[in-house]
Amino acid sequence: KMASLEMEKVVEYVWDSYEYLALAPREKGALIAAVFWFVQLLLAAALSPLMSPTYRGLSVSKRADWLSRVNSTTHAIVSAAVALYVLFFERDLYQGRGFSSQNLLNGSLTLTLGYFICDAALVIMFFKTIGSPVETLAHHVLAGCTAVYAMSSRGSIFAQLWVAGTYFTEMSTPMVNLRWFVSLRHRNASWYPAVGILMMVSFFVTRLVFFPAFLVWLFTFDSEEGYTLPDTNYECVFMGTWGGAASLAITLLNSYWFFLMVKAAIRIFSPKKDASKSSSAPSPTTNGEKAAASETISKDSNFAAKTAAVAADSSEKKMQ
């Protein structure tokens, strides 16, 4: 009973802190959220060497990537859980009325802004060594502007639904990060390709199937009482222009990243292509020539696999 009471107090404290973020002024809430993510970053840096021998063997830039993905995974789980509740369990939303979980969504938006600030600072610190720094910073700036606009449009059900639908695509991020973590130690394991396939499937379903279909539904959906529209024509034009451009850009980027995933998967699952080219050369006659030929084939296959892995890692970092 004592343990249960202590757990209830912890949950109550966490929820009170979350609500404070949701109700706080935007700038203040974002800074508090950024501090939270920095603290988690420091905790991950302190605990990872104790919990993972793999982390201890990484370079400084790889460790920064590791820590960034820890925060990325936490952010994705929170965002996707909030989106799941808002989209599928909040019934008032679909009747054109304000919904009871608005603080839940606003708190998630505040955490997102803080996450972008923290991760952008990490990318700037390791700009020369971390993967895809320019694309990552551009993503954080654009997505951060979208979050700020959504927080400024609390009366717009359209904006709230749009943000929730966008957050739902974060369900694929934990699988993307899981593949990266597994690749550090188990790249040659027999089950490793299965992790890559699960990553591709989750990415395809959430970002290339669900998100475009959700946008079509969003622009054609009529609630019982209608949406709460912006007060001025300028806001209507801005919401339509920014929302349409951002959604199109996200879909195009997701398509490009999925293309890179498929391309890398094809290279990994067809390593015999290079070996067959080597086999067309004159057959070695001596034992030394046979050993040299075997080593060449092995190097060619390893080079193809490493090239595919680099392409996959590069595409994953852009998605963060």
Taking phi over 0 as left and psi of -120 to 50 as alpha, with beta for the rest, 149 belongs to: alpha
76 close to 174: Cβ distance less than 8 angstroms? yes
- Quick: pLDDT tens for 167-207: 898 999 999 999 999 988 888 888 888 888 999 999 999 99
Question: How would you write 233-285 as a 3-class SS string?
Answer: HHHHHHHHHHHHHHHHHHHHHHHHHHHHHHHHHHHHHCCHHHHHHHHCCCCCC
In one letter, which amino acid is 276? S
- Quick: pLDDT tens for 242-261: 667 777 777 787 888 888 88
**Which pLDDT value is given to residue 35?**
95
Taking the model in full, what pTM does it have? 0.74
**Which pLDDT value is given to residue 43?**
95
Helix (H, G, I), strand (E, B) or coil at 49: helix
Q: Report CA Rg, the chain.
A: 23
**Which pLDDT value is given to residue 242?**
65
Give every CB contact of residue 124 below 8 A, 6+ residues apart in sequence: 133, 137
- Quick: pLDDT tens for 51-87: 999 999 999 889 998 999 999 999 999 999 998 988 8
297 close to 278: Cβ distance less than 8 angstroms? yes
**Which pLDDT value is given to residue 162?**
81
The confidence band for 212, taking pLDDT boundaries of 50, 70 and 90, is confident
